[in-house]
């Protein structure tokens, strides 16, 4: 079962049972990019419910459209909700727990937890709802590293035990991404390295030159690697 459309990531988490909760965590910008790519990919197969726990930003519609042009996905299958506070997150998750046989993407589900570690118990309700949703749906979590510096996903120990598959994503030098399998029920821990360019839509590399530029240029103009001037 493939859930991201990025071959190396899907191979890393395979095998995957639908009731297993999958989590990707790490640098926020990288996590958001993978989330967008994955939601576009999964929309080809059916409805994708996406919950953003960010007060502002996070949703890059232009990037989704670019990926959809490549993957031939269905934008109408992507349904996005935004939570503005912890109570919104709880209410949205309670509604999603009533669904069956669909794909649920949770982006930063613990984003509104208090900074005070003594109030971190609020994460328990969110974790419980995520587990309930996963009974009848495929749940993919996109998370950040814990604010307490443990190099673990946000959410606390109950969350870490509840998630079945955990992958940490991090940047390497020269545009490379390291995907480290931290937890998996049936396979040993391992890692994969892939180019960040995979997450860029190829249309970005095609230069569409105007007729005026073609006529006034004294040097060959190339588009997509094909010379159109001399």
> Does 13 share its domain with 28?
yes
Q: Is residue 143 part of a domain?
A: yes
Is 58 part of any domain?
Answer: yes
- Does 151 lie in the same domain as 123? yes
Give the range of the structural domain holding residue 101, as residue numbers without chain letter: 7-199
Task: Indicate whether 87 and 163 sit together in one domain.
Answer: yes
If asked whether residues 195 and 207 sit together in one domain, one would say no
- Residue 1 falls within a domain, yes or no? no
Q: What is the DSSP string of 63-115?
A: HHHHHHHHHT--GGGEEEEE-SSHHHHHHHHHHHTT--S-EEEEESTTTT--S
Overall domain count for the chain: 2
Same domain, 113 and 213: no
pTM for the structure as a whole: 0.84
Strand (E) positions, the chain?
22-26, 48-52, 78-82, 103-107, 138-144, 165-171, 176-183, 191-195, 222-223, 226-227
Q: What is residue 117's predicted lDDT score, i.e. its pLDDT? A: 67
Confirm whether 219 is domain-assigned. yes
- Region 120-127: mean pLDDT is 86
Which of 54, 126, 134 has its CA nearest to residue 90?
Answer: 126
Quote the percentage of the chain above a pLDDT of 90: 60
pLDDT at 23 over 70: yes
Q: What is the CATH number of the domain that holds 162?
A: 3.40.50.300
Same domain, 85 and 57: yes
- What pLDDT is recorded for position 59? 85
135 and 73 part of one domain: yes
Name which residue leads in pLDDT, 207 or 147. Answer: 147
**Residue 11, token pair as written in the block:** 């191979």
Residues 166 and 223 in one domain: no
């Amino acid at each position: 079962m493939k859930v991201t459309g990025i071959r190396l990531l899907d191979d890393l988490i395979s095998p995957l049972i639908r009731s297993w909760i999958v989590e990707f965590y790490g640098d926020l910008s990288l996590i958001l990019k993978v989330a967008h790519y994955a939601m576009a990919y999964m929309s080809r197969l059916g409805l994708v419910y996406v919950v953003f726990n960010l007060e502002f930003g996070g949703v890059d519609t232009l990037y989704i459209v670019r990926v959809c042009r490549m993957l031939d996905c269905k934008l109408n299958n992507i349904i996005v909700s935004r939570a503005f506070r912890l109570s919104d997150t709880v209410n949205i998750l309670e509604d999603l727990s009533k669904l069956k046989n669909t794909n649920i993407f949770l982006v930063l589900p613990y984003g509104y937890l208090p900074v005070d570690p003594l109030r971190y118990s609020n994460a328990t309700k969110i974790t419980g709802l995520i587990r309930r949703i996963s009974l009848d749906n495929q749940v993919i979590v996109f998370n950040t590293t814990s604010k307490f510096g443990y190099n673990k996903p946000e959410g606390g120990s109950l969350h870490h035990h509840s998630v079945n598959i955990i992958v940490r994503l991090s940047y390497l030098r020269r545009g490379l991404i390291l995907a480290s399998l931290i937890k998996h029920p049936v396979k040993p821990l391992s890692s994969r390295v892939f180019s960040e360019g995979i997450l860029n839509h190829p249309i970005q590399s095609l230069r569409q030159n105007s007729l005026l530029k073609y006529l006034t240029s004294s040097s060959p103009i190339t588009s997509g690697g094909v010379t159109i001037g001399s």
